[in-house]
Amino acid sequence: MKSTRRHFFKTMATGAGTMLLGPSAKAMSSVEQFNGYPERVGMLVDLSLCIGCRRCEEACKRANQLPPVEAPLNDSSVFEHTRRTDAENYTVVNRFANPQPNQPAVYVKKQCMHCEEPACASACLVGALRKTKEGPVVYNPDICLGCRYCMIACPFYIPAYEYHNPTSPKVRKCTLCYERIKAGGMPACAEICPVEAITFGKRSDLIKLAQAQILNNPGEYQNHIYGLDEVGGTTWLYISKVPFAKLGFPTDVGTTPFPEYTRGFLSAVPVVFVVWPALLGGFHLFANNRQPAPAQEDGVTRNDEETEQ
């Protein structure tokens, strides 16, 4: 599905006329199964390791030329409220009380999940958001309209908008340090993490690592890799000893890739374009070929306005 759609983007750029018909049947076809580029990267977070030092926030801001962190890193008062990502914070660490007694609090790093089939990219009407073959979902501000439908579509409440920027407002979110990855590096957060709670690698490898970690510590971890199947899979994977529902993870997002939800509707578009003219034209002919009503004051019923002169 993905490759065909990507291919479709390229070919579609030639003829705007076909745009009327909406996505073609080819783009909508799922016969050609594509399970993602095998070399795409992933990030695995072991939540039981995170110590909440927020050094990843700091590194992220440095890597993305964002203003420095507001609260000092050792100021634990930031954890009193659950924070979300915003235009100046691509990643935030939140603290959640451990539901098990006498266990330390759990810190959860939050950022763009870089879905395998991103809702935001399928929401974007100009293709400003795009899933790269390396894995990151990247954003092109130069073509963005600022409709913010991506923010509606994102099930994780990640994309943020520069509401205070009048001239060049942008959708802001984690880029998975796309440039660094392409240059052979790793995202800044994974690099800085002092306890190596974030592991960067090939997504396929990380899944095995996560499974092994759960298997080798029987009874300790939740038997679930968050992001393996959620919304069709995400680049970021999480393992935890505490149920994900208690850690602010949305657990009602399902495993269906979000583009699937609008696929049925979009496939109906060409049908309407083909069937409606015939149907409506037929109605028109039928309605205007009937016998004129016998007793009409103003005379005969006329076919069309153009004949009136």
Partner 1 sequence: MNRRTCFFLATFWVFSLARAEGADRLEQHSRAPSAVAQPLNCTECHTSGHPTKSNPCLAPCPRSAPKQGPDVVLLNQLSSEYVPVIFAHQLHAQMTQMSGGCAICHHHNSANRIMACRECHSASHPESLAKPGLKGAYHRLCLNCHREWSHETQCSVCHARRTANSTRVVLPDPTDIMGLLHPNVKEPVIKIYQTACDQGTLVTFRHQEHVRHYGLKCATCHREEDCSRCHDTGLSLDRTKTFEQHHSPCSLCHQTGDKVTKACAGCHSDKEIPPFTHKEAGLVLNDTHQVAECSDCHTGSGPTKYRDPPSCSNCHEKQENISYPARLPGTKVKLP
Partner 2 sequence: MNTHISQSIMSREWIQENLLLGKPARTYFRGLVTPLNVVAAIIICVGLPLIVSRYIFGLAAVTHASNNQPWGLFLSWGLFSGVPLASTGFIMAATVYLFGLRQYHPLLRPAVLTGFVGYFFAVVFLLVDLGRPWHLPYPMFVSFGTGSVMFLVAWHVALYLSTQFVEFCPAIFEWLGAERFRRWAVKVTIGATIFGVILSTLHQSALGALFLLAPAKLHPLWYSPYLPLLFFVSSIFGGLSMVIIESTLIRRFLPGRMDPANHRVLDGLTLGLGKGAALTMLTYFGLKLIALAHGNHWNLLNSGYGAWYLIELIGFVALPCFAFVLGVRRCRPEIVRFAAFWAVVGLVANRFTVSMFALNWQLPHREFVSLKEALVVATIFTIELLVYRWVVNRLPVHREHTRYKSARKRHLVQAPQPA
Residues that bind partner 1 (CB under 8 A): 44, 46, 48-49, 51-53, 55, 73-74, 76, 101-105, 186, 193-196, 199-200, 209-210, 212-213, 216-217, 220
Least gap, CB of 108 to partner 2 (angstroms): 17
Instruction: Answer whether 238's CB lies under 8 Å from 249's CB.
Output: yes
Amino acid at 178: Y
Of 104-112, 216-224, 236-244, 280-288, the window that binds partner 2 (rule: CB under 8 A) is: 280-288
Residue 253 touches which member of partner 2, partner 1, none, C-beta under 5-8 Å by kind? partner 2
Q: Map residues 158-197 to x or -, x wherever contact with partner 2 holds by CB under 8 A.
A: -xxxxxxxx-xxx---------------------------
By beta-carbon proximity to partner 1, the closer residue of 148 and 241 is 241
Least gap, CB of 81 to partner 2 (angstroms): 11
226 binds partner 2 (CB under 8 A): no
Contacts made by residues 25-32, CB under 8 angstroms, sequence distance 24+ = 25/267, 25/270, 28/263, 28/266, 28/267, 29/1, 29/4, 30/1, 32/1, 32/3, 32/4
Q: In whole angstroms, what is the distance from residue 122 CA to residue 149 CA?
A: 10
By beta-carbon proximity to partner 1, the closer residue of 129 and 242 is 242
17 binds partner 2 (CB under 8 A): no
Tokens of 128: 């400003």
Return the residues of window 122-161 that contact partner 2 according to CB under 8 A: 122-128, 143-149, 151-153, 155, 157, 159-161
Least gap, CB of 282 to partner 2 (angstroms): 9
Of 20-28, 40-48, 220-228, 235-243, the window that binds partner 2 (rule: CB under 8 A) is: 20-28
Query: Smallest Cα–Cα separation from 121: which of 143, 101, 99, 105?
Result: 143
36 binds partner 2 (CB under 8 A): no
Pairing mode, if any, of strands 198-202 and 41-46?
antiparallel
By beta-carbon proximity to partner 2, the closer residue of 72 and 281 is 281
Residue 74 touches which member of partner 1, partner 2, none, C-beta under 5-8 Å by kind? partner 1
Of 67-75, 108-116, 241-249, 258-266, the window that binds partner 2 (rule: CB under 8 A) is: 258-266
Q: Which residues 6+ apart lie within 8 Å of 263 measured at CB?
A: 28
Least gap, CB of 204 to partner 2 (angstroms): 26
Q: In whole angstroms, what is the distance from residue 91 CA to residue 9 CA?
A: 30
∠ CA 119-121-122 to the nearest 5 degrees? 65
Instruction: Answer whether 100's CB lies under 8 Å from 266's CB.
Output: no
Q: In whole angstroms, what is the distance from residue 136 CA to residue 125 CA?
A: 19
Radius of gyration for the chain, computed over Cα atoms and rounded to the nearest angstrom: 26
Query: Smallest Cα–Cα separation from 241: which of 84, 134, 139, 108?
Result: 108
Residue 101 touches which member of partner 2, partner 1, none, C-beta under 5-8 Å by kind? partner 1
By beta-carbon proximity to partner 2, the closer residue of 89 and 199 is 89
